[in-house]
């Protein structure tokens, strides 16, 4: 049983749906104050309303410094400080090499990687003032470990987050701020709902546990990194994928 995080404050970016929403709900359930951030105020407010009085929605584009600074100010104004940042916002448009433009590449790197740097930078003053904090980055298995056609820019952004994390963890260790990452495999989100049974069955077939991950699977890992008990863990990335990256070949899956 982890020590209570009741009354602490978390900022969750990209929390209007998908994994970020799962993280926001789980942290809210654990008694933290939650700032639910996305570019859409109404959707962020909707998630905050489900969490309850200990949550607020905030519209910010986290790929901009102004957006991240406004988000950090709002969390401090609403809840009196920031203890945890879950830097989760991300996009994953597909484009194969030969079709991908420099603008496509920049858009993904800006939204996924630049936003990680900017949101971490924005919460640092509040975490430093509090004498410590926890930063949890949502990376992916795609990029750091695996590849998928159409996602060379996405993979670069997700691997880049881990490169950023390692130096950030060293720099922030003296301030008692830890920086860790969760690397989700294939997670069932609203975005997958319309993809059809065949598509989902194909994905499940590549996972030794034979199911997609849930947003709660990722939220629980993030909550652990945010806990007091995880205070001596920094600069680490945890794969949460039902064993997806383990099989060395299709044969390894068929032999189960």
**Least distance to ligand NAP from the beta carbon of 204, Å?**
13
Q: How far apart are CA 196 and CA 181, in angstroms?
A: 30
Let me know if 232 is a catalytic residue: no
Q: In Å, how far are 22, 52, 141, 237 from 1, measured between CA atoms?
A: 20, 24, 28, 22
**Least distance to ligand NAP from the beta carbon of 227, Å?**
20
Tokens of 66: 């102004």
**Least distance to ligand NAP from the beta carbon of 173, Å?**
24
By CB under 6 A, residue 144 contacts ligand NAP: no
The side-by-side arrangement of strands in the sheet containing 133-138 is 55-59, 33-38, 9-13, 84-87, 133-138, 177-184, 237-240
Residues 12-27: b if buried by 16+ CB within 10 A, e if exposed: bbbbbbbbbbbbbbbb
Q: How far apart are CA 210 and CA 202, in angstroms?
A: 10
> What are the helix (H) ranges across the chain?
18-29, 41-51, 65-79, 102-109, 115-130, 152-172, 190-193, 197-205, 215-226, 250-254
Which residue out of 148, 154, 199, 232 is catalytically annotated?
154
Cβ distance to ligand NAP smaller for residue 7 or 191:
191
By CB under 6 A, residue 90 contacts ligand NAP: yes
Stretch that binds ligand NAP, among 10-18, 74-82, 101-109, 231-239 (CB under 6 A): 10-18
* Contact pick of 184, 207, 223, 234 for ligand NAP (by CB under 6 A): 184
**Least distance to ligand NAP from the beta carbon of 208, Å?**
17
By CB under 6 A, residue 88 contacts ligand NAP: yes
Q: What string marks each residue from 26 to 65 as x (binds ligand NAP by CB under 6 A) or -?
A: ------------xxx--x-----------------xxx--
**Least distance to ligand NAP from the beta carbon of 44, Å?**
8
> Is residue 146 left, alpha or beta, with left meaning phi > 0 and alpha meaning psi from -120 to 50?
beta
By CB under 6 A, residue 119 contacts ligand NAP: no
The contact set with ligand NAP (CB under 6 A) reads 13-20, 38-40, 43, 61-63, 88-92, 111, 138, 140, 184, 186-187, 189, 191
Q: Active-site positions?
A: 154
């Amino acid at each position: 049983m982890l020590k209570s995080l009741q009354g602490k404050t978390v900022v969750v970016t990209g929390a209007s749906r998908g994994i970020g929403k799962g993280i926001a709900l789980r942290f809210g359930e654990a008694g933290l104050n939650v700032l639910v951030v996305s570019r859409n105020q109404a959707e962020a407010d909707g998630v905050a309303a489900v969490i309850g009085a200990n949550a607020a929605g905030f519209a910010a584009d986290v790929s901009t410094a102004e957006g991240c600074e406004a988000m950090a100010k709002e969390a401090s104004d609403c809840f009196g400080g920031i203890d945890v940042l879950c830097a989760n916002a991300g996009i994953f448009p597909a484009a194969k090499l030969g079709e991908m433009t420099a603008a496509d590449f920049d858009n993904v790197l800006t939204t996924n990687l630049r936003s990680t740097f900017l949101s971490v930078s924005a919460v640092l003053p509040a975490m430093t003032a509090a004498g410590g904090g926890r930063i949890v980055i949502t990376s992916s298995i795609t990029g750091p470990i695996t590849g998928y056609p159409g996602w060379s820019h996405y993979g670069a952004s997700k691997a880049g987050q881990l490169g950023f994390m390692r130096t950030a963890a060293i720099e922030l260790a003296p301030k008692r701020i830890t920086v860790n990452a969760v690397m989700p495999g294939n997670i069932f989100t609203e975005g997958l709902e319309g993809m059809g049974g065949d598509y989902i069955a194909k994905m499940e077939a590549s996972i030794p546990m034979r199911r997609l991950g849930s947003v709660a699977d990722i939220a629980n890992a993030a909550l652990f990194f945010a806990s007091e008990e995880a205070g001596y863990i920094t600069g680490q990335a945890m794969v949460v994928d039902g064993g997806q990256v383990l099989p060395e070949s299709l044969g390894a899956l068929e032999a189960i």
